């Protein structure tokens, strides 16, 4: 029988053993990992907890952009799930859970059709195991992962509907993870004021976890980023600037170089919104160079278009034209979505012909962002599993 939610001591023990097994497996190639799992029946090596842990590692890898790792870990999770000894109904539940994470990794790799098929297999297997209690498995997670596929497909409303299903599925899933994800979707759907309120409620919810030391720093960083981006897109720059100090500290302590660059980008947007154009232009120039240095073409293009909009608003058409010439080579970049390439080509052509107005320059930036979203948003936060 699978463990039940009431069997807390057994769950903690299984998860500790799974961590030990993962330490043995972590550095091996996938083929050797699979061989070890298949050859050893020791406690922890074929357990539901190891399959769960591998799914968790896969989700973290997709959130960090480590797509190949995510695929390897999800495939190993699927193999471990197939060897689970608890019986066919529970194995179906576990395999459905693993398939959801493999589908998520496929989405991260850009294989959207294969991801769609994977989620359908996950749903089928999960329902096949319906006579078995899901135990400690988070039965909302696969729905949240599927919402990310809807986002990648440009079907934001369907993604929000999936998140709302999760919200009504059980009162226990009213968690910061769900609310942070939902806030990101609301921003991309243009419902920025709603996003601000959602994320501010989440901030209040996190205060209790902080006092109990049950909130990961990364989750706090995800929340702070999304709230700042929401305020920016809502045009609420007077409220944005006071949040930047805490966000800067969080990114310095727990973020990457790219995270810190994106905080500076948000600060530049706040300066522009407050009318400090010279400060904003200097900051955007530094941000553009840093993002280009990291090979983030989409982000660098978006910063350049924001810079062009500021110049256009002050009648600096020569600067706009020069920026457009620098963008021309990126119209073929694989990092730029196809719709974004078309937008960029038209922008460059109109700039060269002096056909841009301040309003049309601003709209080009907005149109380009819609093709790929705001890169500062964190639509897939994943906290640590509890011990």
Of 23-27, 162-166, 207-211, 372-376, which range is least confident? 207-211
Q: Residue 371: what pLDDT?
A: 85
Mean pLDDT of 83-105: 90
**pLDDT, mean of residues 376-381:** 85
Distance of alpha carbon 13 from alpha carbon 327, whole angstroms: 55
Please report where in the chains the tokens 């050893």 appear, as a residue: 40
Q: Of 137-146, 153-162, 227-236, 281-290, which range is least confident?
A: 137-146
* Residue 228 near residue 265, CB atoms below 8 Å: no
Task: Mark which of 142, 169, 196 sits at the end of a domain.
Answer: 169
**Mean pLDDT calculated for residue range 304-323:** 94
Residue 361 has pLDDT above 50, yes or no: yes
Q: Tell me the average pLDDT of the chain.
A: 88
pLDDT in tens, 321-331: 999 999 999 88
- Place 290 in a pLDDT band, splitting at 50, 70 and 90: very high
The reply to whether 185 falls in a domain is: no
Q: No. of H helices and E strands in the chain?
A: 18, 0
16 and 103 co-located in one domain: yes
Q: Is residue 226, in this structure, part of any structural domain at all?
A: no
**Residue 173: predicted pLDDT:** 47
23 and 150 together in one domain: yes
The answer on pLDDT for 385 being more than 50 is no
Tell me, yes or no, whether 285 lies in a domain.
yes
* CA distances for 318 relative to 105, 311, 322, 337, angstroms: 44, 9, 6, 27
For residues 163 and 180, the answer to whether their CB atoms sit within 8 Å is no
Q: Does the pTM of the predicted model rise above 0.75? A: yes
377 lies in some domain: no
Q: Looking at the predicted structure, is the pLDDT value of residue 208 above 70?
A: no
- Banded model confidence at residue 291, pLDDT cuts 50, 70, 90: very high
63 within a domain of the structure (yes/no): yes
Domain contains 177: no
Q: Rounded mean pLDDT of 243-251?
A: 94
Closest CA to 372 of 162, 62, 154: 154
Find how far residue 264's CA is from the centre of its chain: 20
Question: Do 55 and 144 belong to one domain?
Answer: yes
Per-residue pLDDT at 184 exceeds 80: yes
Between 55-59, 161-165, 171-175, the lowest mean confidence (pLDDT) is in 171-175
Instruction: Give the residue numbers spanning the domain of 262.
Output: 246-372
- Distance, in Å, from the CA atom of 353 to the CA atom of 350, rounded to the nearest integer, reads 5
| Closest to 145 measured CA to CA, from 74, 198, 87 | 74
Question: Of 169, 189, 217, which closes a domain?
Answer: 169
Where is the domain boundary, 115, 141, 169?
169
**For residue 382, what pLDDT band results from cuts at 50, 70 and 90?**
low
Domain count, the chain: 2
E strand or H helix at 113: helix 112-128
Question: Is residue 218 situated within a structural domain?
Answer: no
DSSP string, 284-313: HHHHHHHHHHTT-HHHHHHHHHHHHHHHHH
CB atoms within 10 A of CB 140: 20
Look at residue 386 in the predicted model and tell me its pLDDT.
42
Q: Checking phi first, is residue 356 left (phi over 0); if not, alpha (psi -120 to 50) or beta? A: beta
Lowest mean pLDDT among 11-25, 45-59, 74-88, 201-215: 201-215
Whether the pLDDT of residue 233 is over 50: the answer is yes
* The pLDDT of residue 372: 84
Residue 124 Cα distances to 76, 97, 114, 128, 217, angstroms: 20, 11, 15, 6, 36
């Amino acid at each position: 029988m699978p463990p039940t939610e009431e069997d807390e001591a057994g769950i903690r023990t299984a998860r500790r053993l799974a961590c030990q097994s993962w330490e043995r497996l972590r550095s091996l190639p996938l083929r050797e990992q699979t061989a070890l799992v298949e050859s050893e029946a020791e406690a922890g090596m074929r357990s539901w907890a190891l399959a769960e842990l591998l799914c968790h590692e896969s989700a973290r890898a997709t959130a960090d952009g480590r797509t190949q790792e995510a695929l390897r870990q999800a495939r190993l999770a699927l193999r471990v799930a197939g060897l689970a000894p608890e019986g066919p109904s529970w194995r179906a539940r576990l395999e459905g859970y693993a398939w959801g994470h493999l589908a998520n990794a496929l989405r991260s790799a850009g294989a959207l059709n294969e991801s769609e098929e994977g989620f359908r297999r996950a749903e089928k297997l999960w329902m096949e195991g319906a006579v078995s209690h899901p135990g400690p498995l988070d039965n909302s997670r696969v729905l949240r992962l599927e919402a990310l596929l809807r986002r990648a497909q440009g079907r934001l409303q369907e993604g929000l509907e999936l998140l709302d299903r999760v919200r009504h599925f059980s009162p226990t899933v009213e968690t910061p993870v769900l609310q942070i994800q939902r806030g990101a979707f609301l921003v991309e759907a243009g419902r920025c004021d709603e996003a601000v309120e959602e994320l501010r409620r989440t901030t209040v919810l996190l205060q209790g976890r902080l006092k109990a030391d049950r909130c990961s720093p990364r989750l706090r960083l995800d929340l702070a980023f999304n709230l700042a981006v929401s305020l920016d897109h809502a045009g609420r720059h007077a409220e944005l600037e006071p949040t930047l100090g805490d966000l800067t500290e969080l990114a310095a302590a727990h973020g990457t170089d790219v995270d810190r660059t994106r905080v500076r980008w948000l600060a530049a947007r706040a300066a522009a919104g407050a009318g400090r154009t010279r400060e904003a232009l200097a900051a955007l120039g530094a941000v553009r160079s840093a993002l280009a240095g990291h090979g983030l073409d989409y982000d660098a293009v978006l910063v350049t278009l924001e810079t062009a909009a500021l110049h256009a608003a002050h009648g600096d058409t020569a600067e706009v034209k020069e920026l457009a010439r620098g963008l021309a080579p990126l119209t073929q970049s694989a990092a730029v979505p196809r719709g974004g390439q078309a937008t960029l080509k038209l922008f460059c052509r109109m700039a060269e012909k002096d056909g841009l107005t301040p309003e049309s320059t601003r709209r080009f930036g907005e149109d380009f962002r819609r093709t790929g979203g705001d890169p500062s948003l964190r639509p897939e936060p994943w906290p640590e599993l509890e011990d």
